[in-house]
Amino acid sequence: MLTQETKRKIDSARNILVGKVPDPKAQVEQITTALIYKFMDDMDKEAIELGGKARFFTKGFEKYAWTKLLDQKLGGHERLELYGEAVAKMSQNPHIPQLFRDIFKDAFLPYRSPETLTLFLKEINGFTYDHSEDLGNAFEYLLSILGSQGDAGQFRTPRHIIDFIAEVVDPKKGDRILDPACGTAGFLISAYKHILKQQKEKPLTPDEKEKLMNNLVGYDISPDMVKLSKVNMYLHGFAEPKIFEYDTLSSEEKWDEMYDVIMANPPFMTPTGGIKPHKRFSVQANRSEVLFVDYIKEHLRPNGRAGIIVPEGIIFQSAGAYKQLRKILIEDGLFAVVSLPAGVFNPYSGVKTSILFFDNSLSKKTDNILFIRVLNDGFDLGAQRRPRPDLPNDLVCEGGAIDVLVEQRLAIETGKKNKWLQKNSIFAYEIKKEQISRTGDYNLSAERYRLDNLGEMKNQKWPMVELGEVCNIIGGSTPLRSEKSYWENGTIPWFTIDDIRNQGRIIKETAQKVTQKALEKTSLKMLPIKTILLCCTASVGEYAITEIETTTNQQFNGLVVKNEYKEKLLPEFLFNISKTFKSKLLGVSGKTSFDFVSAGSLKKIKIPLPPIEIQKEIVEQIKVKQDAIEHAKAIIENLERERDDILISHLES
């Protein structure tokens, strides 16, 4: 567990650097280099205290010892010159392990401030070398600031998602384990910790532990990631981490190596022109996500298991390579699909993802594929990803994803029923492989099949209810403009149709504000978060949903779900069906010089009221499609810019 003191020291070291080294990746490199430098000195001191000799700072490198570097007699500029020289020369030190030489390769000091360096080294001096869990976790916390390399389609996998996958895949002490796109080695370390936890009652012998460490293997195409993952594993006790700089998709050198367990979050992005793989893949493609999934499937042993994070394209894309891949997975190996909510990778990416679980042994014993739909992973889905302890965590709560998946294994092995699979559940359900294969596109969007399996709910017409029965209808108002005390220095949001035009239908702020006096002295009413704002005059049919408390002008009515219907009607569902209201509103409008819908008429408009589970599913599906639309728009805008740049580059001299 990461201690607050260790976290504070890392944050402090970053804060010291940030003025001179603003790039987070460069900050990580500077801290990594300094920590290894300090730890080599610690190990030399320990050796001397035990009656031995210094191993690292010896035979010409004594002058660079950390202790001498922090000597108070040394001036600031002298320290700057000495440290810069040491960092540059350390990769040539024949007395340090190859891992350390790799870390110092191409290292340099990117600033020339003696004050910054002195403060930074004093902070690093507070760390002490050992192979403790605290130090490894501290380095993982440091790596978390890297966040993403979005241009390469690489996004840091949240720790709780990594641990969830490890828990489900359940690596054992004798397994050979691979991450073919290992990044900072998070999956490998999680697998290691999972196995140690399994062996708590019977700890591994030194020989078993050494064998396990040799069985954990990672590949990455980026030399920077290889360096960081090696340090991460070293700080978790791996003397010689088995991490290789390797192009998993284009090289054949390691093709014949097979593994019992593979876990990965491979890059989603394909370079312009595509990948140019060799011909040994089962699926001939140039898309990185297709090739990585194919690679993982191909490199599992007969009883192998895997957990892979994939983008939604793998689930439903209609291109031939995607369909061919899904056909292979369904026919051999795919055990379960866990849909994650869009936003799991925030703030780095809003991409919608799923986890594919393979089990080559189990998949042969069942005609079904298990689908699980996670709506809450313990954090909100905004940019800050704040914890949400008030909501059940669909991954780990009782009856959550882990319970369902573990029980499913047992059910398949014993032929018994999975007690966590409830009839008509929106959360977890089985779909027959034959049903998925029937259409020929092998689509893994589970909701496509689930509604066909709901028995008595199939083709059922949902009950219709009047808006006035399920919602309080609250009218808006415009305080007198001549009364300055209602407007000057106002702090209370006041919504108008211009806010929709300026920011869209999800309202997070308003352009105009009113004062507390206006709220107290006029007919204005404060509307709660998740109010549906519905225009009933002039621009009839315009609608929005609030993410803030606000008031509104007289053009709009606020639809607020009544307390007795909060467990029966989602505001987000009401928001999504609001787009269907326009014709209904115009049909009941009493025309004056413009369309006008009275509150009484609005209350009588009927809406369908599906079960809350179906509402959640509709809202989630619409969100996925809307996210895809926004992503497509961004791609189009980028292509248009590139198109215009081509023209400009050829015409401008």
Domain chopping of the chain, boundaries: 4-133, 154-456, 464-609, 611-653
Question: Predicted confidence band at 182 (pLDDT cuts at 50, 70, 90)?
Answer: very high
With 60 as the cut, is the pLDDT of residue 150 above it?
no
> How far out from the chain centre does Cα 310 lie?
11
Question: Predicted confidence band at 614 (pLDDT cuts at 50, 70, 90)?
Answer: confident
Task: State the pLDDT at residue 65.
Answer: 92
Residue in this structure with the two tokens 């998949």, named with its chain if needed:
363
241 and 230 Cβ atoms separated by less than 8 Å: yes
Q: Which of 70, 67, 89 is nearest to 80 (CA)?
A: 70
The C-alpha atoms of residue 516 and residue 504 are separated, in whole angstroms, by 27
3 state DSSP class of 68: helix
pLDDT per residue as tens digits for the range 550-597: 999 999 999 999 999 998 999 999 999 988 887 777 766 655 445 688
DSSP 252: -
Quick one: which H or E segment has residue 93?
none
Least confident piece of the model among 20-29, 66-75, 227-236, 549-558: 227-236
3 state DSSP class of 481: coil
Considering only the top CATH level, what class is 464-609? Answer: alpha beta
Q: Is 596 exposed, middle or buried (0-12, 13-18, 19+ CB in 10 A)?
A: middle
The C-alpha atoms of residue 402 and residue 417 are separated, in whole angstroms, by 16
Q: What is the mean pLDDT of the chain?
A: 87
540 and 589 Cβ atoms separated by less than 8 Å: yes
The C-alpha atoms of residue 94 and residue 104 are separated, in whole angstroms, by 12
Who contacts 108 (Cβ-Cβ below 8 Å, separation ≥6)? 84, 87, 88
Task: State the pLDDT at residue 496.
Answer: 95
17 and 120 Cβ atoms separated by less than 8 Å: yes
The C-alpha atoms of residue 222 and residue 182 are separated, in whole angstroms, by 10
Beta carbons within 10 angstroms of residue 200's beta carbon: 7
DSSP 560: E
With 70 as the cut, is the pLDDT of residue 103 above it?
yes
The C-alpha atoms of residue 88 and residue 72 are separated, in whole angstroms, by 23
On the CB side of 142, how many CA atoms lie within 13 Å of its CA?
A: 29
The C-alpha atoms of residue 121 and residue 540 are separated, in whole angstroms, by 65
Could you tell me the sign of the dihedral formed by the alpha carbons of 415, 418, 423, 424, in that order? negative
Give the type of residue at 556: F
Question: Predicted confidence band at 440 (pLDDT cuts at 50, 70, 90)?
Answer: confident
Quick one: which H or E segment has residue 259?
strand 259-264
Q: Which of 367, 363, 294, 355 is nearest to 324 (CA)?
A: 294
The structure tokens listed for 248 are: 């998993």
The structure tokens listed for 147 are: 């966040």
Task: State the pLDDT at residue 196.
Answer: 94
pLDDT per residue as tens digits for the range 374-433: 988 988 877 677 888 877 889 999 999 999 999 999 999 998 899 999 876 778 999 999
The structure tokens listed for 420 are: 């966590």
Do 4-133 and 154-456 share a fold? no
Could you tell me the sign of the dihedral formed by the alpha carbons of 522, 525, 526, 531, in that order? negative
Between 287 and 369, the higher pLDDT residue: 369
476 and 602 Cβ atoms separated by less than 8 Å: no
With 60 as the cut, is the pLDDT of residue 148 above it?
no
With 60 as the cut, is the pLDDT of residue 46 above it?
yes
Residue 177: what are its φ and ψ, rounded to 5°? -125, 135
Q: Which of 467, 617, 492 is nearest to 543 (CA)?
A: 467
2 and 138 Cβ atoms separated by less than 8 Å: yes
418 and 404 Cβ atoms separated by less than 8 Å: yes
As a whole-number percent, the residues of the chain with pLDDT over 90 amount to 52
Average pLDDT for residues 312-316, to the nearest whole number? 86
The C-alpha atoms of residue 331 and residue 315 are separated, in whole angstroms, by 15
Question: Predicted confidence band at 129 (pLDDT cuts at 50, 70, 90)?
Answer: low
Question: What are the C-alpha distances in Å from 78 to residues 75, 91, 117, 125, 232?
Answer: 5, 21, 11, 18, 31
Task: State the pLDDT at residue 459.
Answer: 43
The C-alpha atoms of residue 339 and residue 259 are separated, in whole angstroms, by 25
Least confident piece of the model among 106-120, 339-353, 466-480: 339-353
Question: What are the C-alpha distances in Å from 475 to residues 189, 455, 497, 552, 580?
Answer: 57, 42, 15, 8, 21
pLDDT per residue as tens digits for the range 361-374: 999 999 999 999 89
Domain at 154-456: CATH architecture:
3-Layer(aba) Sandwich (3.40)
pLDDT per residue as tens digits for the range 500-513: 999 899 999 999 99
55 and 45 Cβ atoms separated by less than 8 Å: no
Who contacts 55 (Cβ-Cβ below 8 Å, separation ≥6)? 43, 44, 47, 95, 96
With 90 as the cut, is the pLDDT of residue 325 above it?
yes
The C-alpha atoms of residue 429 and residue 339 are separated, in whole angstroms, by 12
Task: State the pLDDT at residue 273.
Answer: 64
Helices 159-169 & 401-414 angle (0-180, nearest 10): 10
Sheet with 512-514: strands ordered across: 512-514, 492-495, 551-552
631 and 342 Cβ atoms separated by less than 8 Å: no
With 50 as the cut, is the pLDDT of residue 153 above it?
no
The CATH number, out of the four listed (2.40.30.10, 1.10.10.10, 1.20.1260.30, 3.30.200.20), of the domain defined by the range 4-133 = 1.20.1260.30
63 and 190 Cβ atoms separated by less than 8 Å: no
Question: Predicted confidence band at 131 (pLDDT cuts at 50, 70, 90)?
Answer: very low
Task: State the pLDDT at residue 611.
Answer: 84
As a whole-number percent, the residues of the chain with pLDDT over 70 amount to 90
Full-model pTM: 0.65
With 90 as the cut, is the pLDDT of residue 331 above it?
yes
